[in-house]
Amino acid sequence: MKRLLTTCALSVVIVLAACLPALAEHSPNAAAEELGVSNGAQYAMFVPKAWNGRLVLWAHGFVDPTAPIALPDELPVDVAPWLAQLRETLLGAGYAVAYSSYAENGWAVKDGAARTHELRTLFANRFGVPSHVYVGGRSLGALITVMLAESYPDDYAGALAMCGPLGGGRQEIDYVANVRVLFDFFFPGVIPGNALNVPPMEFSADSPVVKAIVAAILAEPQKAAMLAAVDQIELPYRTPSELVLSIVRPLGYNIRGTNDLLARTGGQSPFGNLNTWYTGLLLYDSTVNAGVGRFTAKDAAIRYLSDYYRPRGTLRLPLLTLHTTMDPDVPFAHEAALAKIMAATGRSKWLAQQSVQRYGHCNVTPAEVLLTLGRLVKWAETGAKPASGDVTLQLAIESPESALGNLQGTLTNELTFDQAVLQSAGLPLP
């Protein structure tokens, strides 16, 4: 009988332990956390020691389709440290945080939206209902953020979209593919295949294809400068180092992402330039247009990129964007495209757009993200809409880190890849 009572008591303890939030082991600033798996995706949820009642759902960006599924604080290795630091910054300010690996990599907008949205229910079931839920994301995660904001306006208090392709998926794919077709024109044979026929190959700082791209640019820098000057892409750069990165980085999305996207569109081409007349090189324009590769976009692929995703202009909640002005991955021009979409539907009152005068893809610090989130929260909860425009100086005044923002952002963001590429070429970091 004593053994039976002991066994029953132990069973009750085990059941109760399974139902209680785990003590924080993953995060030093969390009082409780839960890591789990749902619908094929890993997720992580954290409650701070002094919770202000607000929950931030964070959507991560593009991940190489060949990489393993992993939480964004683990992979990719060049971005994960930034995400982990952002998590700790938000927790330290009293926000609960949750994010997902998604069940897919690549152009995972559909799955990323579903997996991020379900975190609301997972969190509420485990930790209780938050007072306000905010959704935010970086890069492709910013596009997911806008999709969620437009699809579920009653479920979120506000949205923070950073450095995203917010003019829509097709605009971003056109940019990446145009960089590729122009590179192939100026540097033929350097990259195997073409813009839509990409054989499997490694794309890392020390991979043969990256070394070949960098060597070609350094051998004929005047051609690289001409490529960057074409109006349809207008690659940002001020130094030779930035010119190299502004060519290498979008080419990386073409090499890593094309086959994934074609698999999602049933093999149908999402890119077409049959009617594109490339400009910006004056008398040389006709030579470029006569020699550049031409491709035809298919309706099914265009519809796919519209579905996943082109903003509809149906906002009914505050959306605040933040974008570096010299972004080689997701051009700053996406911000103007988003503003045009919202103006066409009469929803501009729900949109505020801020920028930082820096080179790099989302080269902002976690402290700067926290400040920007604070503006969104104030807008959503008090009606005080933040001003759109350049906030570089404002961030520098408000954040001790912002004076070193460019350096800090680089150190915690994509230094691993960029530094290795430039070091192999004997060039300094931007």
Domains of the chain: 22-168+310-408 (3.40.50.1820), 169-304 (no CATH)
Q: Return per-residue pLDDT of the chain as tens, 430 residues.
A: 433 333 333 333 333 333 334 566 789 999 999 999 999 999 999 999 999 999 999 999 999 999 999 999 999 988 999 999 999 999 999 999 999 999 999 999 999 999 999 999 999 999 999 999 999 999 999 999 999 999 999 999 999 999 999 999 999 999 999 999 999 999 999 999 999 999 999 999 999 999 999 999 999 999 999 999 999 999 999 999 999 999 999 999 999 999 999 999 999 999 999 999 999 999 999 999 999 999 999 999 999 999 999 999 999 999 999 999 999 999 999 999 999 999 999 999 999 999 999 999 999 999 999 999 999 999 999 999 999 999 999 999 998 666 554 444 444 445 678 989 998 889 998 8
Strand order in the sheet with 22-23: 22-23, 30-38, 41-48, 96-102, 54-59, 132-138, 158-162, 319-326, 351-359, 389-390
pLDDT for the residue numbered 404: 55
Q: Which of 213, 95, 78 is nearest to 139 (CA)?
A: 78
Q: What is the pLDDT of residue 323?
A: 98
User: What does the pLDDT read at residue 415?
Assistant: 60
Tell me the three state secondary structure of residue 129.
Answer: coil
What pLDDT, on a 0 to 100 scale, did the predictor assign at position 152? 98
Specify the 3-state DSSP secondary structure of 383.
coil
| Angle, CA of 342, 348 and 353, to the nearest 5° | 95
Q: Is the pTM of this model over 0.85?
A: yes
Burial label, 5 (beta-carbon count in 10 A; 0-12, 13-18, 19+): exposed
Distance (Å, whole) CA 6 – CA 10: 6
* Cα dihedral 293/298/302/305 (nearest 10): -70
Helix H or strand E segment including 241: helix 240-264
DSSP 361: T
pLDDT of residue 132: 98
CA 421, 426, 430 angle in degrees (round to 5)? 65
C-alpha span between 395 and 369 (Å, rounded): 10
For residue 23, the model assigns a pLDDT of 62
Q: Are 199 and 259 in contact (CB under 8 A)?
A: no
CA-derived radius of gyration, the chain: 23
